[in-house]
Amino acid sequence: MVNKRAVVFLSLAMFAMFCLVASPSRAQEETIDLVEKLEKCTSFHWGTDCLVWIVHYPEDIVDPWVSIEAERQRLGEREREAYRQAFVKDLRMEECEPFLLTIYNFGLKPLNLKPLSEHLLLEVDGEKLPLAAYDSNFDEPINGILQGLVFFPKVTSKTFTVILSSVYPREMRFSFDSTALQAEEVKEKKEAVETSIQPETIVEDSLTMEEIIVELPVSEEKKDAKKKLPPKEESVDLYDEPSSFEEEAKSPEKPVILPPGPDPLLQVQKDPIESEIDISLKEILQKIEKETSMTKEEVVTLFVESWIEGDLNTMYELLASETKRQYTMEEFEKAAMESNIRWAFKDGYDVTWVSDDKAKISGIQKMVLIKVERSKILGLVQERGRWRVVW
């Protein structure tokens, strides 16, 4: 007979092994998917003294990128959604078409594109649209490699061209066709499905395991032995005879002598029970003592670490009275938790004291094909002997 527990255990073990094997594969597939999308959205041109390439960030890169970063940073569902919103906000996807512009100037003279808004345009259906926003570093003389984000107004057309002028020997035209890319993706998926479903790879219906019980024939010797067995004797009820306990019960009653108990006068008095008010007061005093002993450096560290972990309550408690008057709890949550800056601190941050009462927190945020430096200046004031943060 098949052992059901063994079958269940084996099934669970196989499922666990599948998860261990499938998890890296799924992450790898998402990374490959992201890279392939970016490759199809990349266009470059050579100049005599420079190389320029532009990457368009379509909306369909959001899901694979968020999945990759959520896995790397071990984000929960809530943090994952917050990161997604911050990422979309960073790239202004709801109101703009985001591009990554990279210029490599290997000439002897700096490349001057100031102002970039006059040299970089988006052509859609014959109409040329100006930049909506861009990295101001492109207005400085360009030596070596310069990379930054540029934004054009949101367009409904799937086909458009980015034009860069004032680059020798001719203007550069970077064409992007989302329709063709989508058609190519559909074709690739269709080919992949057709390749996977080949006659030799078609699997029959899965075999079902039936429970089979095999009954072995009884030998002649065992049959004879069963015949020779004497008849069963009638079982004797052990409870028919009176027990010693019952005999004692029938005997005359004897006086019960209890062991001497502890002397009440010698008992140790218990500590008085603390009320909830006493416990709360003690916790408040301990908290005040701890906060009073914290240095301003420790307060800044606790504030930033709480920011990274999404601990809004601790952050709000560390705020100065002036900041609390400006922000309610809900307003501060929106200002702090929806900020893109805190994602830059997850991979590490530096604290630089600008003055005795101001600290600059800096970190590098990893985005698609680019790293962005972000910083926040926090003020410090003393209230009742405790350091508090000015937002």
**What pLDDT does residue 373 have?**
86
Give 323-341 as a 3 state SS string: HHHHCCHHHHHHHHHCCCH
Residues 50 and 104 sit within 8 Å (Cβ to Cβ): yes
Bigger pLDDT: 218 vs 55: 55
CA distances in angstroms from 68 to 23, 154, 198, listed in the order given: 12, 26, 32
Which residues are CB-neighbours of 353 under 8 A, at least 6 positions away? 359, 360
**What pLDDT does residue 284 have?**
57
Q: How far is CA 383 from the centre of its chain?
A: 36
Residues 160 and 176 sit within 8 Å (Cβ to Cβ): yes
Bigger pLDDT: 137 vs 341: 137
What are the pLDDT digits (tens) for 201-214? 434 444 444 444 44
Model pTM score: 0.59
CATH 1.20.120 assigned to domain 280-390? The reply is no
Beta strand pairing call for 370-383 and 386-390: antiparallel
Residues 184 and 170 sit within 8 Å (Cβ to Cβ): no
Provide the 10 A C-beta neighbour count for residue 119.
17
Which residues are CB-neighbours of 291 under 8 A, at least 6 positions away? 386
Q: Measure the CA–CA gap between 158 and 331, rounded to whole angstroms.
A: 38
What are the pLDDT digits (tens) for 65-87? 999 999 888 888 988 998 999 89
**What pLDDT does residue 274 have?**
64
Dihedral (CA of 190, 195, 200, 203) sign: negative
Could you tell me where the beta strands, DSSP code E, fall in 17-86? Answer: 42-46, 50-56
Ordered by start, the domain boundaries in the chain are 4-191, 280-390
Long-range CB pairs of 190-196, under 8 A, 24+ apart, other chains included: none
Residues 352 and 338 sit within 8 Å (Cβ to Cβ): no
Beta strand pairing call for 127-129 and 120-124: antiparallel
CA distances in angstroms from 254 to 247, 257, 261, listed in the order given: 13, 9, 21
pLDDT confidence tier of residue 50, bands split at 50, 70 and 90:
very high
**What pLDDT does residue 88 have?**
93
**What pLDDT does residue 216 have?**
44
Q: 60-93: buried (b, 16+ CB within 10 Å) or exposed (e) per residue? A: ebbebbbbbbbbeeebeeebbebbbebbeebbbb
Which residues are CB-neighbours of 184 under 8 A, at least 6 positions away? 40
179-188 mean pLDDT: 57
300-310 mean pLDDT: 93
